[in-house]
Structure 1
Amino acid sequence: MRNYIQNGDNITVDSPADVLSGAGVIIGNLFGLANGDAQTGKPVVLSTVGVFDLPKTTANDITVGAALYWNDTAKEVTTTASGNTKIGVAIAAKSGAGTVATRLNGTF
């Protein structure tokens, strides 16, 4: 196919801010996890699909299959849609503080 570019699991973009490896990065409606450290304006590879442990808000009890959103101010996962970016679904239940196993969905 002549118009194929890549599969999209990992994409390279210019970092909108200084980021550390594993950090969530939002550019418009694009969300991914940085594969390495990057400075503002420098290339960073983002994972846009896969399953990752992500920090979660302590305010939410998360159930398997719950839609998850990224709160870019707090840099954590939440079940609150308003003002946040949809990133995927939970593949494990989690209450309280810590991380939640999150399946990223690169199509949002």
Structure 2
Amino acid sequence: MKNFVQLAEIVTVTAPSGGVASGDPVLIGALFGVASKSAAAGESVEIMTEGGFDLAKHAGDTFSVGDKVYFNASEKKLTSAAPSNPRIGVAMKAAVGSATSVLVRLNGLPIS
């Protein structure tokens, strides 16, 4: 197809203020992904917008398989709390309140 440009599960963005470390969650507008490498603020960095990732979660939150997962940008952690937090994917594995992370499936769609 002559108008195909690239697969879109990896997107190059400008690292936000404070920079990013490899594996950090990154939110740019309505685009959410996971940094593939470390980058200083203003540098180009590739983020993965699709796939399964084990990411830090808010203490006390619990997840069952298939639960919606949201991103708390101020904490830079995943949460089960929907109000004012954008939805970024679904839980692929259950996580108890004492767990420090949750396995989440990112689907590459704009956050909602």
Same fold at TM > 0.5: yes
Could you list the runs of 5+ residues in structure 1 that have no partner in the other structure? none
User: What is the count of residue pairs matched by the alignment?
Assistant: 108
The alignment partner of 2:34 has SS state of strand
> Residue 59 of structure 1: CA displacement?
2.6
TM-fit CA distance, 1:58: 1.6
Q: What RMSD over aligned residues (CA atoms) do the two structures have, in Å?
A: 1.0
Matches within 5 A, 1:88-99: 88-96=89-97, 97-99=99-101
Runs of 4 or more, structure 1, over 4 Å off, are none
- Of the three residues 92, 99, 102, the one matched with 1:100 is 102
Structure 2: gaps (5+ residues) = none
Query: Aligned-pair distance for 1:34?
Result: 0.3
Q: Deviations over 1:4-34 (max 9, x none)?
A: 1111111111112211000001011100000
- What residue number does 2:21 align with? 20
Partners of 1:58 and 1:95 within 8 A in 2:
no
Shift of 1:81: 1.4
Q: TM-score, normalised by structure 1?
A: 0.94
Identical residues among aligned pairs (%): 42
> 2:77 is matched with which residue?
76
Work out the CA distance in 1 between the residues paired with 2:27 and 2:69. 14
Per the TM alignment, residue 2 of structure 1 is displaced from its structure 2 partner at its CA by 2.2
Tell me the distance in 2 between the aligned counterparts of 1:65 and 1:58: 19
Deviates more, 1:53-62 or 1:32-41: 53-62
Structure 2 equivalent of residue 57 of structure 1: 58
